[in-house]
Amino acid sequence: MSFFDFIFKKINWVINCSNQIIKFIIGFGICLILLYFTYIDYFPTDLSLGDGLLFFLITIKFLLVFLLFLSSHYALGRIVIFIFSGIIRIFKFLFQIKLFFNNIVNIRNITLVKVKKVIDKISVKFIKFIFYIFGFVLIFLFYNEKSLNLILMIFLSILLTYCIDIFIKEFRDNNYLKSEESTAESIEKKNLKLSIMLIYILFFPSSIYLFYSEKPNNFLITSTLASIREDDRKSIIFIKFGLKDLFPESKIGERKGEYVELKNTEILLRGIGKNALVQYQSKAKDYRGNDVQIKVKVEIPNDSLLVVRRSYSRR
């Protein structure tokens, strides 16, 4: 088989599978957006098949951010385990210091092969540690400075690292398994066990993160759904002047032609269906007559909304 025949077969295989892959990505994107509708307690009634491209893009962004989530937590977990194992090894070294110095004195036991093995082992661990440090820096994208979030970050990192290491070990053992030593039933059980472990790795840590993290600071959601969400920290939100009566005077800013600026508001959903969902905070009386903070959600047409994004110069 020539090289071009090999490439052609691979391309043909990708084309044959692309239809199923696209269906899966769009379907997964629909599941994500439905979860987000539940997250914001709102469901638009005018969805159409034309939103499929948006669902596709949401899925791609989510998978990239989710991969960053898993890898950064795994990196932090490896660093924590590395530190703890290093401390344990130091104590073991202190207990065995006499034996250690005896080996150093016995020069005949030291060979170039042993020295090379030690150097290679240290080099590999050093390179891994550099990658773990890089992942450790990225993990702070998902958390703010609150102590509860830091505790949650360390807990999820250790849990995820432990689960991934077990999964990798079981996966390797399953691949190295000889067919003549195992029946089809035992292989099926091992594959089922691996599938359960993989589902646990993919869903359990992220579910805990979504449950405990604050909605405004949830990087997994805000970064994935940045194309359908906006807030006045990064953008200037305008609506058509005729809709200004839907908002209190305190939320109305300067008029610009046919549009008027909204202050202290955020867009929870736009670009999906006919209407956008705008939210702002207000005050109301509870049953005791006390002032309480409430969140008010207003539906306005997408074509009556104008968003001006602003970027901050680093100079």
280 within some domain:
yes
Q: Are residues 16 and 103 in the same domain?
A: yes
The predicted-structure confidence for 184-209, as pLDDT tens digits, reads as follows 677 777 778 888 888 888 888 777 77
Same domain, 160 and 238: no
Is 146 among the domain residues? yes
Q: What residues make up the domain containing 272?
A: 228-309
Residues 214, 173, single domain; the answer is: yes
Highest mean pLDDT among 117-121, 161-165, 255-259: 255-259
**Number of domains the chain is built from:** 2
User: What per-residue confidence (pLDDT) applies to 117?
Assistant: 60
State whether 246 and 115 are in the same domain.
Answer: no
Q: Are 95 and 161 in contact (CB under 8 A)?
A: no
Phi, psi of 10 (to 5 degrees): -65, -40
Does residue 275 lie within any of the structural domains?
A: yes
**Average confidence score pLDDT of the chain:** 74
Q: Are residues 210 and 257 in the same domain?
A: no
For the chain, where are the alpha helices, taking DSSP H only?
3-39, 52-95, 97-105, 112-138, 147-175, 184-212, 219-224
Q: Which tokens hold the place of 221?
A: 């959601």
The answer to whether 142 and 72 have CB atoms below 8 angstroms apart is yes
CB atoms within 10 A of CB 160: 23
Residue 203 sits in the same domain as residue 234 = no
Please tell me the total number of residues recorded for the chain in this structure.
Answer: 315
* pLDDT score at 244: 86
The predicted-structure confidence for 211-247, as pLDDT tens digits, reads as follows 766 655 667 777 777 778 887 777 888 889 888 888 8
Place of tokens 């159409």: 48
247 DSSP assignment: S
Is the pLDDT reported for residue 123 higher than 80? no
Higher per-residue confidence, 192 vs 147: 192
Q: Are residues 56 and 148 in the same domain?
A: yes
Last residue of a domain, one of 204, 222, 240: 222
Which of left, alpha, beta for 121 (phi over 0: left; psi -120 to 50: alpha)?
alpha
DSSP 8-class letter at 244: G
Q: What angle do CA 161, 35, 57 make, to 5 degrees?
A: 80
CA torsion 68-69-70-72 (nearest 10°) is: 70
189 with 305, same domain: the answer is no
Instruction: Write down the residue that tokens 């007559």 correspond to.
Output: 289
What is the rounded CA–CA span in Å between residue 74 and residue 83? 14
Cα–Cα distance for residue pair 283/291, rounded to 1 Å: 6
| Res 180 pLDDT > 70 | no
Q: Please say which residue of 196, 222, 248 terminates a domain.
A: 222
Asked if the structure places residue 213 within a domain, the reply is yes
Q: What is the pLDDT of residues 99-116, one digit of tens each?
A: 555 555 444 444 545 555
Clarify whether residues 33 and 163 are in a common domain.
yes
User: Is residue 315 one of the residues assigned to a domain?
Assistant: no
From 302, 297, 307, 309, select the one nearest 237 (Cα to Cα): 307
Compute the distance between CA of residue 126 and CA of residue 246 in angstroms, rounded to an integer.
60
Given this model, what pLDDT does residue 107 score? 46
Which of the residue ranges 7-16, 47-56, 255-264 would you say has the lowest mean pLDDT? Answer: 47-56
Domain termination residue (choose one: 222, 251, 271)? 222
Same-domain status, 258 and 123 = no
Tell whether 196 and 267 lie within a shared domain: no
Q: Are residues 177 and 235 in the same domain?
A: no
Tokens at residue 107, please?
A: 């020069």
